[in-house]
Amino acid sequence: MIGALKRFSRTTALALSLGIAGFAGGQAQADESLILAHAMNTDHVFHALSERFMGELDGKPINIDYHPGGDLGDWTSLFEQSMQGVVPMSLTWGASEFDGRLDLAYLGYVVSNWEQAQKLYGPGSDMLDIYNGILHELGLHAVGIIPTDFGSVVIRKGVGKVPVNFPNDANGLKIRVPGLPMAVERFNNLGFSAVPIPLAEVYTALQLGTVDARSFSTAVETYSLRDVLETNILTNDYFEHAFWLVNKDWWEGLETADREALQTAIDTTLEWSWGEAQAKSEEFLQKARDAGIKVVELDDAQLAAARKIAHETEWPAMEKIIGSEIMSQIRQAAAN
């Protein structure tokens, strides 16, 4: 928390030095700016989404001061700054250090394909209300859920194994996972030896053979690690999605016309984003193939076996964190 506060202080100072503290008095004026920030590079769907959103606002009396690439801090810092109202709008993930229930976003095998994902997480979905039930307690409001990609397992060069029948095929393989208890549990249950390693150290860990594989890899990330990878297994074990967040007090303090104009632009952009995210996933999977990485899909039986493991082990563990009421809502939403 001390590190987070130091991060917050530095980025707060930067934002204030830029003179862009958001909408003064809650009303959009042509000579005032709204900060929109995210921590990803221009290859990421966040950038395409942001540009589309700004295009939707052309002719409106709202100026967007756009900060991609972590200009105002990493994704956890941006989450915190939106809580504080320093950055009124951000594209980021749920930072579970502020509420452990946000790990719900990483729950395994809620959906298994793009059609299911859009139905569950798309505009107007039940999941948005479920997430906002948590986020509102942090002073945040999600105006939408952003699709990113499905998570895969990638294997480093020289391993020579392609685990597809879980848990047996994964026996003896060390896999990098993010530092989430849920991630450790999932991949241990799938037969791997899960090793939590920070994202910044993943390339080196694969290069040096510290681990044999990496989990939670989207197509863009797989391609970025192409020099050290030989195989990408499309486990689709979770659907990576982010939040389009606003500070709740700031949002509710806007003039109705301004808030409606922003929400309309957001909804239109998010409708478009589903096709863009899937196209970007397919584009970077093909780039990975062209770079010599073998891309492997699970067949229906293999996918069903992996899903069964997650539902029998991971889902009950998540229920203890988020409570039976929210978990019942998840099961109902996923079944619809």
pLDDT at 236: 96
pLDDT at 245: 99
pLDDT at 59: 87
Is the peptide bond between 167 and the residue preceding it cis, with omega within 30 degrees of 0?
yes
Structure tokens at 317: 């563990």
pLDDT at 199: 86
> What are the chain's domains?
2-148+241-282 (3.40.190.170), 152-238+291-335 (3.40.190.170)
pLDDT at 162: 98
Q: How far apart are CA 336 and CA 48, in angstroms?
A: 30
CB 132 within 8 A of CB 142: yes
- Chain segment 197-236, per-residue pLDDT in tens: 998 899 999 999 999 999 999 999 999 999 999 999 999 9
pLDDT at 47: 93
Torsion 190-193-197-201 (CA) sign: negative
Instruction: Name the CA dihedral angle for 98, 183, 131, 303, rounded to a multiple of 10 degrees.
Output: 180
Flag residues of the chain having pLDDT under 70: 1-32, 336
pLDDT at 138: 98
What is the pTM for the complete model shown? 0.83
Q: Around 335, how many Cα atoms within 13 Å sit in the side-chain half-sphere?
A: 6
- Chain segment 151-188, per-residue pLDDT in tens: 999 999 999 999 999 999 999 999 999 988 889 999 99
Amino acid at 289: R
pLDDT at 279: 94
pLDDT at 74: 92
